[in-house]
């Protein structure tokens, strides 16, 4: 099953909207079906399991598993290829890729930080046990700056926009042409809702 990274993020937002009681035309447009189960939501795309959102009787809600290319899990216990904690943590870049062997195949996910985002290029918070996140607010920790550096206050009535794209792929970052896909993302125009 090939899952478009943009669709993937929209599915996560759609699930969050369902939990908040909102509705969306995403399901009809993209073959997404969400079923309420005991303490979780099951998300399927075109009849295939994509993820389950666990929200009841857990310390914090979480998605598990998240299935990417070839229906392989891309969550937890997934070793990073070539880079370990200290080499990836707190680095700034346009994008970050997390790939490694799963079920005898190399698969990965890249996150693209759009150049229009505040504080681009962002700092990456990556650990080899599965944590993988863009963090434009962690300047205090990443650069050993005074406490409060990197904090952001949004005045009432104002808004801020962050654009990211998730790219699930087969192979490592070179085989998947992650840098090329990032440039395509930068050139694309945002879709209007």
Q: Where are the domains of the chain?
A: 1-67, 79-151+163-193
Place of tokens 């125009």: 189
pLDDT in tens, the chain (193 residues): 333 344 444 445 555 555 544 444 555 556 788 899 998 889 888 888 888 888 888 776 777 777 776 777 766 443 323 444 455 567 888 998 888 887 888 988 899 999 999 999 998 887 766 677 888 888 888 788 888 888 888 899 999 889 999 999 999 999 999 999 999 999 987 766 5
CA-CA distances (angstroms) from residue 59 to 36, 41, 45, 55, 147? 19, 16, 27, 9, 28
67 forms bridges with which residues in the sheet?
Answer: 73
Region of residue 177 (phi > 0: left; psi between -120 and 50: alpha; otherwise: beta): left
Threshold 0.85, pTM exceeds: no
**What's the number of CA atoms in the CB half-sphere (13 Å) around residue 101?**
3
Q: Name the residue among 99, 104, 102 with its Cα closest to residue 88.
A: 99
Whether the CB-CB separation of 61 and 54 falls below 8 Å is answered with: yes
């Amino acid at each position: 099953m090939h899952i478009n990274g943009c669709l993937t993020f929209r599915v996560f937002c759609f699930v969050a909207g369902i939990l908040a009681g909102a509705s969306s035309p995403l399901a009809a447009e993209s073959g997404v079906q969400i079923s309420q189960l005991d303490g979780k939501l099951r998300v399927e795309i075109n009849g295939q399991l994509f993820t389950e959102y666990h929200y009841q009787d857990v310390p914090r809600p979480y998605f598990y598993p998240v299935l990417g290319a070839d229906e392989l899990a891309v969550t937890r216990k997934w070793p990073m290829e070539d880079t370990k904690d200290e080499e990836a943590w707190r680095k700034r870049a346009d994008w970050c890729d997390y790939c490694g062997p799963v079920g005898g195949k190399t698969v990965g996910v890249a996150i693209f930080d759009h150049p229009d985002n505040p504080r681009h290029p962002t700092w990456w918070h990556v650990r080899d046990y599965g944590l993988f996140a863009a963090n434009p607010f962690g300047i205090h920790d990443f650069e050993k700056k005074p406490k409060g550096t990197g904090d952001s206050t949004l005045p009432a009535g104002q808004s801020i926009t962050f654009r990211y794209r998730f790219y699930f792929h087969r192979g490592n970052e070179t085989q998947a042409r992650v840098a090329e896909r990032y440039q395509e993302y930068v050139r694309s125009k945002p879709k209007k809702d």
